[in-house]
Amino acid sequence: MTAAVVCRALVGQRARRRWFHLVLGGALFTPLWLIGTVVVSPFFGHGALFGDTFAAQFAAYGVGVPLAFLTVFFPLARPMSVAAVRTLCAVPPGRLADGPARGWDARGRAAAWFTLHSAVGALFSGTSLALPPFAVALMVLPFSARLRGSELVGFWHLGGMGSVWLGPPSGLLMLLALAGASKATSAGLAAVAPRLLGPSPADRLAAAERRAAELAVRNRLARELHDSVGHALSAVTLQAAAARRMLDRSAGRGTGGGPGGGGGTGPGAATSAGPGPAAGPAADPAADFVREALTAIEETGRRTLGELDAVLGLLRSGEDDGALAAPGLEALDALVRGAGAARVALTVRGDLGRLPEAVSREGYRIVQEGLTNAVRYARGEKVTARITLSGDELEIIMENPLSGPAPVARPDGGRGLRGVAERARLLGGSAGAGPVDGIWRLAARLPAGGAR
């Protein structure tokens, strides 16, 4: 089991994507390296134009590194770098900035990231091109006499046939070392990326303005819907109630006493009753049907109007309706018991009672959705839930072995994984879910700046 975990960590899906991100940095550095070779070639002779010597290659590399920082003059360098990091390095989207860099501080940090990524990627790409062929040659060295005399392994200095068998383990160790270096280097870049590509104060202000504009649109939409649809439902309900009462009143007049009526006394009554028992008017099936239909319209209208008020209340910001209050993270224990406490490993760090009500409520819904997916798809596997309140950020991470089909976002847009992302985004945070090396992982980050 340990070997499988190590193998997945070194060559799993995440490791391969991050390795490709390093190679991409080397590809971005190639034009700068070519410029460097032109600059240093006069100092190393004509043969150094394409870097025939290690000294010329590293000199060209030294020239290309400061050239990479010239991307400070290109605001679009940050969106390209952010897109690559989000796609290949599994950095949560909320920790990276959106859009072109605003201001020289943001441009400088983006240029520093581009320089770091391309410079490190160039070194790693060169190593990835040179080391694997040599390692494979060492691994097949005992089985090829022609290879033992080649220049590729000439500096191996084998002392005899016994030392030939040092080649396979040495080559394997080199490949493992390369995979380990790739993992460590890419992990370091992923950790640095939020600092260099994260949002600046100007970006946060622009994002807050966008969210305020979105909330204003939602509020206006809620008011318009309430005024139009709510008015129509109210009118339909009132008209149905009035029509039903009028029908009942009309039926009552038909059975009441009066001249010539069935309940009166006097000469007319004796002749109109006729033979048989004195009974009330015969039931009218059409009137009964109309009465039932009007009652159904009235009840449905009242119920729908209440539901409309509740739903539109969720669209309005700044309104706290106690009838709509949902449980918060303080109710986690009950939620875990409902999902089966024996199969849920819950870890909580930080005082969740300090969270603002909206963050606690949406965090509860996110955990609830994660447990729902686990119950549906994990097929009895252990579920790990880690909830951490650190500084101004609430982090929710839920993982379980992916033994069944992967959950999918349903097209209704209001529930499931898409609903989790929308809840986080409306609070200014981020959320994502997907399979990672055989494990289903749901991760969400919510701002908790109001925690006290």
Q: Are residues 90 and 228 in the same domain?
A: no
Q: Which of 346, 451, 432, 347 is nearest to 393 (CA)?
A: 451
d(CA 182, CA 187): 8
Is residue 121 assigned to a domain? yes
User: Residues 348-378: pLDDT tens digits?
Assistant: 998 888 888 888 888 888 888 888 777 666 6
- One domain, residues 222 and 177: no
Same domain membership, residue 114 and residue 45 = yes
In this structure, the answer to whether residues 377 and 423 fall within a common structural domain is yes
pLDDT in tens, 110-127: 999 999 999 999 999 988
pLDDT at 100 over 80: yes
Do 352 and 403 share a domain, yes or no? yes
Within-domain flag for 204: no
Count the neighbouring beta carbons within 10 Å of the beta carbon of residue 345. Answer: 14
Average model confidence (pLDDT) across the chain: 76
The two tokens of residue 187 are: 């992990």
- Looking at 270, 295, 324, the residue that finishes a domain is 324
Task: Identify whether 205 is part of a domain.
Answer: no
Domain membership of residue 274 (yes or no) is: no
Residue bearing the bigger pLDDT, 5 or 449: 5
Strand partners, 432: 443
Please tell me the total count of domains within the chain.
3
- Separation of alpha carbons 20 and 28, rounded Å: 12
Are both 388 and 298 inside the same structural domain?
A: no
Provide, rounded to the nearest whole percent, the portion of the chain with pLDDT above 70: 72
**What domain range is 18 assigned to?**
2-199
319 with 437, same domain: the answer is: no
Dist CA 223 CA 313 (whole Å): 10
State whether 431 and 350 are in the same domain: yes
Tokens of 235: 């009118």
Q: Report the C-alpha gap between 244 and 288 in whole angstroms.
A: 10
The model's pTM is: 0.49
Is 161 inside a domain boundary? yes
Lowest mean pLDDT segment, chosen from 60-69, 257-266, 274-283, 377-386:
257-266
Structure tokens, 113: 């990231």
- Rounded Cα–Cα distance for residues 64 and 31 (Å): 8
Same domain, 192 and 65: yes
Kindly state whether residues 59 and 191 are assigned to the same domain. Answer: yes
Looking at the structure, tell me whether residues 152 and 23 fall in a common domain.
Answer: yes
Give, to the nearest 10 degrees, the angle between helix 13-44 and helix 54-68.
Answer: 110
Residues 340 and 362 in one domain: yes
390 close to 349: Cβ distance less than 8 angstroms: yes
